[in-house]
Amino acid sequence: MKQKLAILLIAIGIFTIGWNVYHWYVQADTVTANSQQARSIDANWHNTVMQTGISDLAQEVKQDDEELNEGDEIGTLTIPKLEKIYPIYFGTDQETLEDGTGLYDTPYTVLPNQNGHTAIAGHRDTVFIGLDELEDGDRLYITFNHTKYEYQIRKTWVTNAEDRTVIVEKEEPTLTLTTCYPFDFVGPAPDRYIVESELISKETLK
């Protein structure tokens, strides 16, 4: 009897480990690790970007026919320094974040084509591995609604998971990335790693 119980426990353990590994792989696989494409976006940006003043960048508003639902894929996030291209999904529920990065849908945040605070979340151990390598001045790019937006990182910091001063309303076009911290923490992490950037230019895609 004890031998059967031991075998059963071992089988359960193997299944659990296998499932977790598979789950991690599926999440990590949503990220396109295309260094050439990611870097070319950064390198070619200033050769093709429209000469648009910052005051003009905030003039777009959400179209009436834009009906977004939780889990809808709405665009991409490119981080050239990490050589990664991430799918962006609408919402930050657990199921959505298993597919890629999630766009916050709150009273304080907006879509990239609106004037205000755009915020994106991602898991630290899958899509946002290496986020702590980013530095002030690094570029981020969002493709959304036939437009590509260029942001420059202004600040990175660590804060408590209960901090309510991160996802807030902002007057200037801002992109914030959030993930759990520490990156090597096992279980629910107590803190959050924050990357804040400002919109500096945009390009209308043909």
C-alpha to C-alpha distance for 132 and 153, rounded to whole angstroms? 12
Enumerate the active-site residues.
123, 180
Please write the tens of the pLDDT for every residue from 111-141: 999 999 999 999 998 899 999 999 999 999 9
- Check if the beta carbon of residue 73 is closer than 8 Å to that of residue 145: no
C-alpha to C-alpha distance for 132 and 182, rounded to whole angstroms? 10
Per-residue pLDDT at 15 exceeds 80: no
β-pair partners for 177 = 120, 195
What pLDDT band is residue 37 in, cutting at 50, 70 and 90?
low
Helix ranges, 49-123 (H): 54-57, 94-97
More confident residue, 175 or 13: 175
Quick check: helix, strand or coil at residue 69? Answer: coil
Rounding to the nearest 10 degrees, give the CA dihedral for residues 58, 140, 149, 24. Answer: -110
Give the model's pLDDT for residue 137. Answer: 98
Closest CA to 61 of 119, 110, 113, 103: 113
Please write the tens of the pLDDT for every residue from 95-116: 999 889 999 999 999 999 999 9
Mean pLDDT of the chain: 80
C-alpha to C-alpha distance for 113 and 133, rounded to whole angstroms? 27
C-alpha to C-alpha distance for 72 and 66, rounded to whole angstroms? 12
* CA triple 160-161-167, angle to 5 deg: 100
- Check if the beta carbon of residue 158 is closer than 8 Å to that of residue 191: yes
- Check if the beta carbon of residue 154 is closer than 8 Å to that of residue 173: no
Please write the tens of the pLDDT for every residue from 62-72: 343 468 999 99
Closest CA to 70 of 31, 108, 107, 97: 97
Closest CA to 111 of 67, 154, 78: 67
More confident residue, 181 or 24: 181
CATH dotted code for 31-204: 2.40.260.10
More confident residue, 76 or 64: 76
Owner of token pair 């390598």:
133
- Check if the beta carbon of residue 103 is closer than 8 Å to that of residue 74: yes
- Check if the beta carbon of residue 176 is closer than 8 Å to that of residue 198: no
138: number of CA atoms within 13 Å, CB side?
19
Give the model's pLDDT for residue 188. Answer: 87
